[in-house]
Structure 1
């Protein structure tokens, strides 16, 4: 980010946002694999139950597949399996109570109460209980089949196919987690750039804005963590994605240390916001943080091109070896020395994110 960047950014006109097709096209792009999974699992479950088992209305074979997969990006096999088990729990309870008491309004209410209480006992997830209740209600109001527990068999078929397609027709977890990683680095860059402007100009407003942006980064850190966990879980199961496990492990290392780097950026931003209250320019601190900001851009580029990692490491090592506040700012006030000192852990976090071992990263920082 250049020093001439504006303090504020353009806000899209609301009416233009409403009529733009781009958000819808982006949702279609992000969801087409999930839609394909649902179509394959639901249709396959229906066909197996109808033709192989001879069930006339195998509705639950389709609904279990649809509900367990969903359109959420988090399609970890474990999450899908937990949802399937919740649904089968609801169907089983419904079948047992229907055999004992028949069907009707009070039977439906009793079934929902027993199902949800049992589901809450079995699992802490609220989604588990809701999924169980929905399928229990559907099973209770459907016509009775010629054999008991036919609906449970339909649900089991749908659940098996839902879990199977997560491995055989996986969503593209790599693109989602890389996109989340880029979003994090973009926000990190914007926050650091604003703090740099505040320090360089002695502008408390810009420094405060940088602190606000740095605080907003944590949500993106959490989003990247979730998409990475999903990608790693799918790649461990899918034979088509196992070759990506090493790359995902590298991305997980970057994510963990960018989490720490984001926290340390907030520390630097708070010190910068306080120091900028006096209106004094601080070019040394600004240049140092700007160097770390540029190095973080190189770490971001390494997500797509591992060849960028050595460049990021060398850039960061060159900055880290000079991070002696007393040598950089002889005779400076204690507050300014503390500001530069706060950049030392930030440099270490970025070094580890770029692939430097932790002990080596700390050893590169001068002792003070």
Structure 2
């Protein structure tokens, strides 16, 4: 079973990498063809390695990230070529040039990948035979590869929306599972169920971070790509939903810890379960608006119906403080979700009753 699972994960990973592989192959062929046939460089190795190193298979395919990689690589090539011309070849020259290249790269950018790319390319300059056109020929090849990598990022972009949607689905699925356990704990007074919800909610922050990275990449690529620019409004809506769900996960972690402590007495609390169940429904519809933006109004309507009831006396009259706190904690949660659904913050807060 584990082998089948590993094969399934590997197959999915390979299939999801097809667009990136196609993009890299197209860029490599274009950079090689330009350097070899147009510029006449017999072995334009660096034009190819610059493309592969700068594009890669990372989740973050933002043009800025590609640009930073290209600049780092070109710094490594040019800097090492200048030092190679001045100092010549040898073991101590190799060590000195690598050290200086890494220091200059770290001074230029805080990115560790930037410094690594610069160091790798500087070593290729030191170890490869001198090209026919002179030492600086490799800098020209690197520049060709960098320019083509940036052009391909804009003109033959990967579809970053698919990655963002998958990341959104993972977060929404985890939130739904957490709500299921939380509601079970409240309905039956089951402390282990509430504790399970706490464990599940602890997994949400890495999912939020992944979604934030992929969505930022999708927005950045869509801004410069003439083929994806029409998707910018939907992506900006998704960014608003992401912000709301990020805040919701934070609120829920606090609420769930309170609930986990509260239900240790084994007493069912159906009123609180009904309240949080309505919020869960609002989150579910808000998540569906990622693919169907019109459903954001439906989510706002669900949450707007809940907001005026968020007074302890309305939900749990004459209840102890431990239960009223749950209702009070739900107030900022509902406001943040209403904002994510498109309501102005002042309007969302105005729906809350005075406490």
Q: Same fold (TM over 0.5)?
A: yes
- In the alignment, structure 1 residue 266 sits paired with structure 2 residue 241: no
Cα offset for 1:104? 2.5
Could you say what secondary structure the match of 1:342 adopts? helix
Q: Which residue of 2 aligns with 1:3?
A: none
Indicate whether 1:139 and 2:125 are aligned. yes
- Helix, strand or coil: the match of 2:9? helix
Residue 269 of structure 2 is aligned to residue 282 of structure 1: yes
2:203 equivalent in structure 1: 216
- CA deviation after TM superposition for structure 1 residue 15, in Å: 3.5
Cα shift at 1:327: 2.2
Matched, 1:62 2:48: yes
What is the rounded CA distance, in whole Å, between the counterparts of 2:160 and 2:131 in structure 1?
40
The within-5 A match list for 1:201-280 is 201-280=188-267
Q: Is 1:119 aligned with 2:105? A: yes
The answer to whether the 8 Å contact 2:106/2:115 transfers is: yes
Q: Which runs of 5+ in 1 are unaligned?
A: 1-12
Q: More deviation in 24-33 or 121-130?
A: 24-33
Aligned residue for 1:324? 311
Q: Please name the residue that 1:17 is paired with.
A: 5
Structure 2 contact 102–118 (Cα < 8 Å) conserved:
yes
What is the alpha-carbon distance in structure 1 between the residues aligned to residue 104 and residue 297 of structure 2? Answer: 54
Q: Which residue of 1 aligns with 2:14?
A: 28
1:185-200 equivalent positions in 2, closer than 5 A: 185-200=172-187
Query: Whole-Å Cα distance in 2 between the matches of residues 24 and 15 of structure 1?
Result: 10
Q: Note if 1:312 corresponds to 2:299.
A: yes
CA offset at residue 291 of structure 1? Answer: 1.0
Equivalent in 303, 307, 330 of residue 343 of structure 1: 330
**2: CA distance between counterparts of 1:106 and 1:328?**
76
How many residues matched? 354
Which residue of 20, 23, 28 maps to 1:42? 28
Deviations 1:150-195 (A, max 9, x none): 0000000000000110000001011111111121111111112211
How high is the TM-score relative to the length of structure 1? 0.94
Instruction: Verify the 8 A CA contact 2:335 2:348 in the aligned structure 1.
Output: yes
* Whole-angstrom CA distance in 1 between matches of 2:135 and 2:190: 75
Equivalent position of 1:103 in the other structure: 89
1:44·1:161 contact (CA, 8 Å) conserved in 2? yes
1:250 Cα deviation after fit: 0.8
CA contact (8 A) 1:192 1:214 kept: no
Structure 1 CA distance, aligned partners of 2:169 and 2:342?
18
Q: What whole-Å deviation, never above 9, does each CA across 1:89-137 have from its counterpart, x for those lacking one?
A: 1111221121112222222212111100111111111111100000001
Alpha-carbon distance between aligned partners in 2 of 1:107 and 1:78, rounded to the nearest angstrom: 33
Give me the CA root mean square deviation: 1.2
CA distance in 1, matches of 2:320, 2:327: 11
Q: Secondary structure at the match of 2:131?
A: coil
Measure the CA separation in 1 of the matches of 2:240 and 2:262. Answer: 33
- Is 1:128 aligned to residue 142 of structure 2? no
Moved more, 155-164 or 346-355: 346-355
In structure 2, distance between residues paired with 1:259 and 1:38: 33
Per the normalisation by structure 2, the TM-score is 0.97
Question: How far does the alpha carbon of each residue in 1:78-99 deviate from its partner, in whole angstroms, 9 at most, with x for none?
Answer: 1001001111111112211211
Task: String of CA shifts for 1:250-306, please: whole Å, max 9, x gaps.
Answer: 111111111111110111101101101111111100111111111111111111112
